[in-house]
Amino acid sequence: MSASLDSPVVDARADGATRTSAQGLGELCVLMKLGEVVLKGSNRPLFERRLQNNIRAAAKGLPEFRLSQRRGVIMLRMPDASDLEVAQLAERMRNVMGIVWVHLVRRVPKDLDAVVDVAVRSMADRSGSFAVRARRRDKRFPLTSSELAAHVGGAVKQAHPHLTVNLKQPDHALQIEVDKDEVFVFTDGMPGQGGLPVGMSGRGLVLMSGGIDSPVAAYRMMRRGLKVDFLHFSGMPFTGPESIYKAYSLVRQLDRFQCGSRLYVVPFGKAQQQIRNSGAERLQIVAQRRLMLKTAEALADRLRATALITGDALGQVSSQTLANITALDDAVDLPILRPLIGMDKTEIMEQARAIGTLAISELPDEDCCTMLTPRQVETAAKIADLRQIERRLDAEELAEHLAANVQLHRPSFFGEQADAA
Ligand code: ATP
Ligand code: MG
């Protein structure tokens, strides 16, 4: 996938020293292509600032860098760092929402011979076909884009006769971008996450089980620009702490997409028992989920989160029928976002694998919901019945009490203090 990481253009020495200038290869930099951020009209400066803050948070612990931005592109330079450190920076940028492509590029002076030299060397270990794609952000450059592409392509072909030219579907696209003060030469890029910068769409609270679905739901909302906090209900004191460990590892894994995640944990066992004692029977599961949502709403108020997020998918389990989902919406005033509502389990699992949460979700644990599952689960819960159970329980006060007694954890992917948005 990351061909540019092991190409000879990236010449990292184990001792961390840089040898780029000595070889005249040009400084290695990270060039990133932005997606929808560029479309946002007059709000653009705000979005760009948000993205830049998120980039800084994601680069925590790496050497200092200089950031410059022009329309649709962000460039990071680390002039004193080793190639290895620059490659690490590029790898981190692949997690930052709002970035569509990450390229490791050589920064070359605006001199045609220098460009040709770097281009030729960067193709040295390649086989198969190639094409040169040139573009000029600076129209004063003496050659047009197509002249530049033809010139560089000819030189590469002459130096490496085993390579063939294929302009339509090349194995390697060698890219030359002429900028204001310099030229960037690079080959294949690495896909980023796309989406919008985290924090741009506000703040949400994810109801996070230890299962497969809720981490994927969190990821999808982060990718649409929500900064999220997480709330987990454990069955304690009637279960062990395993589900908390799972929730913690899941949030840690997701933290690399937003930097600075908070996980709130509620011991829910006693409340579940109270629900059962109030005669919930077949409504036990839906009544529990309503109490979870009410607790989440009380906490969201304190956190200034303006939406709740769950991993519900229509019809996936009996508590997720349309009637039951309607009954869940009735429990709170805040909107409940359900990004997985129309997805198949196989699609959800595929995405969970891609974001690195599937293996954690599949670890065994004692989920609080399975603890008091009735033999038969109501698939068409009536809101009036649920409200009656809640009156007996004094559910609003119970939710306030649970929300006031949460435990806070800060699972961090890159270590303490990284906090963006
Ligand atoms: P998941 O894989 O996310 O656990 P699921 O398919 O097992 O989902 P349910 O157990 O019905 O489905 O849960 C639906 C949603 O309710 C979850 O995606 C999550 O948002 C929320 N939820 C369920 N259990 C918990 C819990 N213990 N703590 C926090 N949220 C929960
Ligand atoms: Mg579950």
Q: Model confidence over 177-229: pLDDT tens digits? A: 998 889 999 988 899 999 999 999 999 999 999 999 999 999 999 999 999 99
Q: Is the CB of 250 under 6 A from ligand 1?
A: no
The Å distance, Cα 219 to ligand 1 centre, comes to: 15
Q: What is d(CA 170, CA 384) in angstroms, rounded to the nearest whole number?
A: 64
pTM: 0.89
**Given this model, what pLDDT does residue 39 score?**
60
- If one residue of 206, 213, 266 were mutated to test the ligand 1 pocket, choosing by the most ligand atoms within 8 A of its CB, it would be 213
CB of residue 212 inside a 6 A radius of ligand 1: yes
| Residue 226 near residue 202, CB atoms below 8 Å | yes
Say what the pLDDT of residue 355 is.
97
- Residue 136 has φ and ψ, to the nearest 5°, of -115, 120
Secondary structure (H, E, C), 261-296: CCEEEEECHHHHHHHHHCCCHHHHHHHHHHHHHHHH
Q: What is the pLDDT of residue 3?
A: 37
Q: Which residues contact 97 (CB under 8 A, 6 or more apart)?
A: 54, 193, 194, 195, 196, 197, 198, 222, 223, 225, 257, 258
Does residue 134 register a pLDDT over 60? yes
Interval between CA 368 and ligand 2 midpoint (Å) = 9
Of residues 22 and 163, more confidently modeled = 163
Using the predicted structure, report yes or no on whether residue 362 has a pLDDT greater than 60. Answer: yes
Homologous superfamily, domain 203-418: HUPs (3.40.50.620)
Q: In which element (H, E) is residue 55 found?
A: helix 44-58
Q: Tell me which residue has its CA closest to atom 18 in ligand 1.
A: 311
What is the 214 CA–ligand 1 centroid distance (Å)?
6
Q: Residue 54: what are its φ and ψ, rounded to 5°?
A: -65, -35
Q: Is the CB of 258 under 6 A from ligand 1?
A: no
Q: Where are the beta strands (DSSP E) in 78-142?
A: 99-108, 129-136
316-355 confidence digits (pLDDT tens):
777 788 999 999 999 999 999 999 999 999 999 999 999 9
Above 60 in pLDDT, residue 107? yes
CATH topology of domain 27-191: VC0802-like (3.30.2130)
Per the CB < 8 A criterion, the answer to whether 219 and 252 are in contact is no
Ligand 1 atom nearest 231 alpha carbon? 29
The Cα–Cα gap between 301 and 303 comes to: 6
Cα–Cα distance measured from residue 262 to residue 406, given in angstroms and rounded to the nearest whole number = 12
| CA nearest to 66, candidates 95, 86, 40, 36 | 86
- Residue 42 confidence (pLDDT): 73
**Would the pLDDT of 12 be above 70?**
no
Over range 141-153, report the average pLDDT. Answer: 93
Please report, rounded to a whole number, the percentage of residues in the chain having pLDDT higher than 70: 90
CB atoms within 10 A of CB 322: 11
For residue 208, the ligand closest to its alpha carbon is 1
pLDDT at 371: 67
Query: Given this model, what pLDDT does residue 145 score?
Result: 93
- CB within 8 A of 259, min separation 6: which ones? 54, 57, 58, 60, 412, 413, 414, 418, 419, 420, 421
Q: Which atom of ligand 1 is nearest to the CA of 289?
A: 16
The ligand 1 atom at the shortest distance from the C-alpha of residue 319 is 11
Phi, psi of 417, deg, nearest 5? 70, -20
What confidence score (pLDDT) does residue 365 get? 78
pLDDT beyond 50 at 16 = no
For the chain, the average pLDDT equals 89
Domain ranges within the chain, ordered by starting residue = 27-191, 203-418
- Which one of 2-6, 78-82, 148-152, 281-285 scores highest in mean pLDDT? 148-152
* Predicted local distance difference test score (pLDDT) of residue 311: 97
Report pLDDT digits (tens) over 179-189: 888 999 998 88
Asked if residue 24 has pLDDT above 80, the reply is no
Q: Does ligand 1 lie within 6 Å of residue 108's CB atom? A: no
Q: Is the pLDDT of residue 10 over 50?
A: no
